[in-house]
Amino acid sequence: MKKALIAGLILTTVILSALAITPTHAQTSISVSDPEGDDRGPGTYGYPTNEVFQPGVFDLLGFTVTDTGNALEFRVKLKNLGDNPWGGPNGFCLQYVQIYVHTTAGGPARVDTFGLNFLLRPDYAWNFAILLAPGWEESPVPTGQRAAIYFANGTVVVQDSAFNVSVDETNNEIVATVAKSILPDTDNFVNWKYVVAVASYDGFGPMRVRAAGVTGGEWAINATAYATSQDQVTKLAQAIAKGMEPRVLDLLVYSSDYNGITADQQYEWLWNFDPETGALPIVPGIERVTETVTETETVTTTATATTTVYQTTTATTTVTTTSTSVSVSTATTTVTQTDWTMTGVVGLVLLLIGLGIGYAVFKK
Ligand SMILES: [Ca+2]
């Protein structure tokens, strides 16, 4: 008995010790790649024609987040950084990279973007967004041109010692180093959802984002460079007229559901806008489940319409029938009774006359 107790204690101690010393193998980085050559936005976009827009400057190739101890380092890899022709203080000036992050901590979240003309799916709503701009002036984008981190609760952090932006020219990477002290939920960064968008920076554009033109130009994205049908051109022209064309050239999603996305996913998702209704594309694309909900709503509407028609028909029928039957039966009855009454009266009068004559004759 005593031996058994001692053996049990020893076994328990061994198990607890094993649990205590088991390394947690904390993941210290995530890395995801993006296809080369899909820098066409919704599939049809080409670059502006000015020579500063070298091939590949908007082609996103990869994204990594690394835990460096006191900070998280976000690296956005492009095919070509583009030689910083206008001397952006952060080492680049052609690109405008926006990183939308949905953490595991909950709290305030937003689905809108900073001038990119697409929305995030609600389960990807951002708790904070890192806007990597070239870095002129002192105020944060889009008011000014400094890089900034926006939190959905309204807080804004402008680039400073806790939020550094630079480039790694050797690897064509834009690098943001953010102190963990200013971010929430950093222990779970490998489980966050990330949407990384590459737009064309335009200090004079709406929200500092370069817009598209139907046939492009020296300083406009060519919306129809790779269009394959007149329907596509018409749809893009309508969207541009309303200022609602997607203003993004390359896109990447990282989450437990997406270890990056394909070119076709990007094109399909970003193409899903409707100039007639003003509906913007949603990223990631809406799954078929949501489409079914839409169909159900349509059916309900139809059913309501049918009911209304049925009620109207019933009411009309009732009124007509009642009116007709009363009218007809009354008329018929009246006519018939009148005939018989007249006949009876005439008969009775004739009978009385006959009786009167008869009485007079026989009395004589
Ligand atoms: Ca790409």
- 219 Cα: distance to centroid of ligand 1 (angstroms): 21
Residue appearing with tokens 């708790």: 127
Which residues are CB-contacts of 254 (< 8 A; sequence separation ≥ 6)?
Answer: 30, 32, 63, 193, 194, 196, 260
- Residue labelled with tokens 């010790």: 17
Cis amide linkage into residue 142, ω under 30° from 0: yes
CA of 288 to the centre of ligand 1 (A): 26
For residue range 253-272, list pLDDT tens digits in order.
Answer: 999 999 999 999 999 999 99
* Cis before 23? omega within 30: no
Distance 159 CA to ligand 1 centre (A): 26
- Whether a cis peptide bond, with omega within 30° of 0, leads into 122 is no
* pLDDT > 70: percent of the chain: 72
User: What is the 199 CA–ligand 1 centroid distance (Å)?
Assistant: 12
Q: How far is the CA of 59 from the centre of ligand 1 (A)?
A: 4
Helices (H), the chain: 2-21, 230-241, 263-271, 288-363
144 by Cβ neighbours in 10 Å (0-12 / 13-18 / 19+) ranks as middle
Summarize pLDDT for 197-218 with one digit per residue, the tens: 999 999 999 999 999 999 999 9
Task: Look up residue 155 and give its two tokens.
Answer: 């807080």
Distance 62 CA to ligand 1 centre (A): 8
In this prediction, residue 27 has a pLDDT band, given cuts at 50, 70 and 90, of: confident
Between the alpha carbon of residue 111 and those of residues 35, 127, 177, the distances in Å are 25, 9, 24
301: which DSSP letter? H
Ligand 1 centroid distance, CA of 257 (Å):
19
* Nearest in space to 230 (alpha carbons), one of 46, 48, 47, 44: 44
Ordered structural domains, the chain, with CATH = 27-286 (2.60.40.1190)
Ramachandran class of 87: left when φ > 0, alpha when ψ lies in -120 to 50, beta otherwise: left
Q: In this structure, which amino acid lies at residue 197?
A: A
Q: Rank 6-15, 227-236, 330-339 by mean pLDDT and report only the highest.
A: 227-236
Distance CA 282, CA 244 (A): 13
Lowest mean pLDDT among 126-130, 319-323, 344-348: 319-323
Closest CA to 176 of 199, 146, 139: 146
In the beta sheet, which residues pair with residue 56? none
Neighbours of 357 (CB within 10 A): 10
Exposed/middle/buried for residue 179 (C-beta within 10 Å: 0-12, 13-18, 19+): middle
Average pLDDT, integer, range 240-263: 98
Cα(172) to ligand 1 centroid in Å equals 13
The pTM (predicted TM-score) of the whole model is 0.74
Average pLDDT over residues 315-323: 30
* Ligand 1 geometric centre to CA of 160 (Å): 29
Please report the pLDDT score of residue 26 as a whole number: 73
Question: Quick one: which of 262, 129, 146 has its CA closest to 192?
Answer: 129
Q: How far is CA 101 from CA 85, 244, 278, in A?
A: 30, 23, 25
Of all residues in the chain, what percent carry a pLDDT higher than 90? 71
Residue located via tokens 């690897």: 171
For the chain, helix (H) and strand (E) counts, in that order, are 4, 15
Residues 31-48 pLDDT 10s:
999 999 999 999 999 999
pLDDT in tens, 279-291: 999 999 985 444 4
Q: What DSSP character marks residue 92?
A: -
